[in-house]
Amino acid sequence: MKVKQLIFGLSVAVLCGTTQFSCNSKPENKAEEVKDEKEEVIEAQRDGESKGDVMEEQADLDSARKDYKEAVKDSVRNN
């Protein structure tokens, strides 16, 4: 009986730990996207790409920033 209780307790602990980790991962993933998009804008400027291409990369960066802000708001609201 004690073995079953121990297994159940460990299972609950693992479940709680993974749930907490998954809740924090969305803003972290969005932050990583913002970082990647920013690097792409810098790279496009450095490589001398056309103004239109740089503006397209900047629009992608702006979109990633907006998604990040929304993910953070959702994270704060849910906690």
| pLDDT tens figures, 19-69 | 555 555 788 889 999 999 999 999 999 999 999 999 999 999 999 999 999
Instruction: Work out the widest C-alpha separation in the chain, in whole angstroms.
Output: 70
| Angle between the N-to-C axes of helices 2-46 and 51-78, in degrees from 0 to 180, rounded to the nearest 10 | 160
Retrieve residue 34's tokens.
């913002």
Q: Is residue 53 part of a domain?
A: yes
Q: Is residue 16 part of a domain?
A: no
Structural domains in the chain (count) = 1
Q: Is residue 6 part of a domain?
A: no
Q: Give me the count of residues in the chain.
A: 79
Range of the domain at 79: 25-79
Structure-token match 């804008």, residue found: 41
Q: Is residue 10 part of a domain?
A: no
Q: Is residue 13 part of a domain?
A: no
How distant is the alpha carbon of residue 71 from its chain centre? 8
pLDDT in tens, 42-53: 999 999 999 999
